[in-house]
Each structure stands twice: as C-alpha cells, then as structure tokens.
Amino acid sequence: MKTNWRAAMAATVLSVALIGSSVPAMADDAPAAAVVSSASYSLNESMSAVVKSVSVNRTSGGLQIGALVGLTNNTGAMARVPDYEVRVKTTEGTVYTLQASSANARSLMAQESAELTYMVTVDRPTDAEISELSFVEVDEYTYPKTEKVLLNVPVTSSVWYGTKGELTDPSANIAWGETFSLPSSSSPLRYTPVEMSKQNDANGYSYLITVLADNQGTGTETVPDFRLDGKTADKTYAGKRVEQEPVTLAAGEKKYVHFSVTLDQDVSLQSLLLMTTEAFVPAGGASSAQGAAGAGAGSAAGGAAAGSAAGASAQTQPGFDVARLIIAAPTPSSPSNTAGDYTIGSPIAVDPLNHLIDSKTEVSLVELHMHENEGEGFKSVVAKFKISNKSDMTVATPAFQTELVGGDGSSYAGTRQSTTAAELMPNLGYVVSYSFMIPASESGETMTMKLLDNVTAAPYSSTIANFNVAVQKDTDDSLMSFYPFNVKLDDWTLSAFTNTAAGGQGLTYSYKLKLWLTVNRLEDVVVDQNFSKFKVELVDSAGRSLGSQTVPFTGDNKLVSGEQTIDLSNIKTDQVSSPITVKLYESIDTPNGEATRLVKTLVQP
C-alpha cells in the first residue's frame, strides 16, 4: 500500500452580496482563524493516532460508516503501520469493525504522518449514533484468538451524520465571515467566506460562493480538493468548485476560490457544508473482506448485517463524504459586506485581487442619469464609466459587467454598449456606457452600483467593486453636461415658415432653430461612434411633438461651437398651437430602444 497524502483543507463561503460588498479582499482585518483540532493519542511505543473524522451516511447499499485516522511515526526510524482493527461502537452498544482501504500506507518514515481510511456498509434500516472509535490488536495465532483494546477514543461530538446534516461540535459551526483552517490540519492556508450571490443561469438558480484563501506559510501551497454544499431547513444541495485547475498560492499570497450550488427556485440557504470525500479502495476479494469485517463485529446482529450488505456495495463505493465545518449563510438583514458612499468622478475602489482591472487601470463613474422612455412603461438609467490607462504601455480594455440594485433590493443587469475599443492607449481615458432598464416607479435616489467579473468564475459573476450612488439631477442652467462634453447655450432663435403643400392641398410648416453654443471637451478622453447624441425636439402647447433631429458629438456634422442650425421641415398638421417649446435631450441607443434625458427646455416668447 502507498501513503495516502492529504493536504489540509479549508472552506469558505462568500458573503451574500445582496446589497453589495466593499471589496471582498478586505479580509485583512478578519478575526483570528478558527481552528478545529482533534486530540492526539499514543497508540503504541512508536505511533500516535488522531481520529480526524467519522461519517455516517445512508447510501443505496445501506448504512455507510467511515473513519479517517491520522497516524504519526514519532521515532527516528521507519516503522510499520500496525494491522490493528478499527471498530466503532454505537450508543446502543452495537460494534462494527471497519475494513481498511487497500491504499492505506503500510509503513511510515521517521517523523512521517499519513492518513488512513476505514469503511463498512451495513444492511441496517435504522440510523446509528456513534459514541466511540477503538483500535484493537487481534492475535489470530492463538486459540481461541485473543483481543486487546489499545485505545478508545470518544467521538460523540465529532461524527458527521449525513442524513441529519449536522455537526454537534460547537467549534465546527462557524459564523459567516469568520476566518478558519481545516480541522486537524497543519496546513498554513486560512480561508474566509467573503461573498455569496444568487444568480440565474442555464442550469437554474445557483448561489456563487467566493472564498478568500490566504497562504500564511513560507512555501507554496495548493488548495485541497473540497466542496461547499448548500443546506436548507429540510434538504441538502450538492455543490462543486468552479475552478477546474488546481489553485496554488505562493508564500503570503491570497487568491479567491469559487464554489457553486444549484438549487430549486425560491430556496434560501441556511448554511454551507464544507465537504471532503475520503477515498476508499476495497480489498481484492471485496465480498469476503467486507463479510469478515462484519462478522468480526462485537454484536452478532450488527456483524451479520455488515457481512451481507457490504460485499455487494464495496466494489462500487468510491469513498465516503465528511462535513468538516458548517458555515452559517449570511442573511439579507446582515450582509457580510456593505457598500460605501461614492462621489461621482472619483476613482472606484476595485478589489485588488480581481483579474479584470489591473492596478494601473483606473475606473470612474462619471455620469449616472435616468432617462425617460415615453409610452414604453419603463425608464432607462445610463451609466458612463471613464477607464483610464495610467501605465506607459497599451493594455486591454477591461470587459467588466455591471449591476444596479434599487432601493427595494431588486437587481438590474447592465448592458454594455455594443462595441468598445479593444485596447487602451497610455495616459488616455475611454468612455464606456452601460444601460439599465428599470421600473417607472424607481426614483433612483438610493441605489447600489456593482462592477462584476463574469470571466474568472464563468458562467457565474463575482463582485469586484460596489458602492452606493444616486442618479444625478439636471439643473436648468445654461451649461449642459454630456461627459466628456460641456455645452453652454449662449443664445437661440426659432423661426416658423408656412408652405403650400404639393398640389395646393393644405399647408406645411417648417421651423429653423438657431443655437449659439460653446462646446468644450475634456482633454485625453476618447469616445466612439456609440457615444450619446444631442437631440432637439419641437413640441406645441398641446404637447404634440412636431419633429426632432439628432446631432452627433463626433464624426461628420458633429456639434461644434458657434452657430448651429436645425431645420425641421414638412410638418403636416391642420393647426399649430403656440407657443412652441424646444426640448434639448441627451439621446442614447440601447438594446431596448432609444433612451432620452431631458437637459433643457426652451419656451418661445
């Protein structure tokens, strides 16, 4: 048999970003790690033992009982792993002998440690509560054979009962956001749950859980293979790790590990179970070996049951699951991370551990305006972000996504403009717009903006920044803001003309609007053809639109300083009700149609 190594594991769960998290990586101020340890016992003159876990699970083959035992060679020479029997005793007095995995270590080098697995499956209709685990030396060469109990270890509070989904050991139940290490592990890796968000994907409703792993050791460490399961009041949902490749951390390094749990609709998780699967390789003659294990049990009834059922299932059992920790899920009323207030135009505090926006790329929210969509039954919010390359080399434009959370907690996904520049030039800023479709009832006074990474943990999205912000209010002064453009209205005139329609059939109206403007543009900020436009609309006193025209800020026929003439011709109506009102808008094309923001109203004298 060969040594079955296992690195220490630790789990984490991400804090439910129901309102938004400041930056998840801000776990530097987390409390000291909770360490769940098991007592070590002297087994013989050279070996010490620790019972790391005991598991009782219901399977299709019967009641599965497994144990993970750690052995340490305390001598200065190689020592053989003794062939002691490992037995468990139930609270009712029944004893079951567990079969050793054929992959268990046969010997240990000086000062070496290894983990050994033992398991039996019993054809028992009722559950069993385990009170102790014992190591028994059996001398088969005497008649009758003699037995000597070398060690009894009480395990009442540390058994994992899969059917109950509970760990009774108080130290194995931790709060959300608490830093911890894997029980009975010497690994320097520490874990902190930092975010948990509910998402909807092709598989249904899922929770994405983000755990911060921190290597506090002096060497490179690999995050062990564990998963996070989700638990509700009456059901457990299997989870999985999102990263397919091993996560390795250098000394002092921090990285995120992501887990997903897919569950039924409208289900809220109460807790997360940090699960490991302990490998078990049955002996060659699985049926006879398991039968012997059952027959060796202290109870005739228990032994016979073990012998009959275990042989049929041993060859198909990959091992047994054990819950190491239970982590309380965050609640909407007490989110693990709260968003801070934000000032428009200031750099956004982005999680330094994110993989999308590097430290030399600065992101700012420069405008957040609510746009009306008359007759459509909803409003649009348009957010403009300035992305600045502060380095001396070209970098890729970060493809972050956005989400806007309303005052009632409802989340609205942002839609990025259809095309963007692939790269950012050094010392330049680039404006990217996102649009959000929101209910007409939303005031926009208390909102949370999130920046999301939907690449690292694809197909799920994780939060890399969030902050509280309110939509901006427009003031009816002469200066109009269309970041990075400022437009000042110096003067205007509106002239009306009547014309006889073709064939002498009625009259048509034409209007010529002259605007004297001063257009200023911020330096070193780039926009493209997807940028918003300047829109002019004429409305009569009855509220009827007489016509409109849009003027781009870039390209041909763009808005410029000086006199700008807007011609609106061939307006057919029986009667024009004066006075005429001129409305000036910012117009932006979104996937849901045109969205307009009224920036100024001019009324004809």
pLDDT band for position 19 (50/70/90)? very low
Instruction: State the angle between helix axes of 300-314 and 286-295 in degrees (0 to 180), rounded to the nearest 10.
Output: 160
Q: Is the pLDDT of residue 516 over 80?
A: yes
pTM beyond 0.85: no
Give the pLDDT band of residue 504 (cuts 50, 70, 90): low
The CA distance from 329 to 178, in Å, is 11
Q: Where are the beta strands (DSSP E) in 123-203?
A: 130-139, 146-154, 159-161, 173-174, 189-201
Mean pLDDT of the chain: 82
Predicted confidence band of residue 203 (pLDDT cuts 50, 70, 90) = low
Which residues are bridge partners to 245 per DSSP?
none
Give the Cα separation of 14 and 459 in Å (integer).
17
Residue 393 confidence (pLDDT) above 80: yes
- 44: which strand partners? none
Q: Answer yes or no: is pLDDT of 397 > 60.
A: yes
Report, as an integer, the average pLDDT of 207-224.
Answer: 95
What burial letters (b/e) apply to 484-495, b meaning 16+ CB within 10 Å?
A: bbebebeebebe
Nearest of 411, 418, 471 to residue 439 by alpha carbon = 411
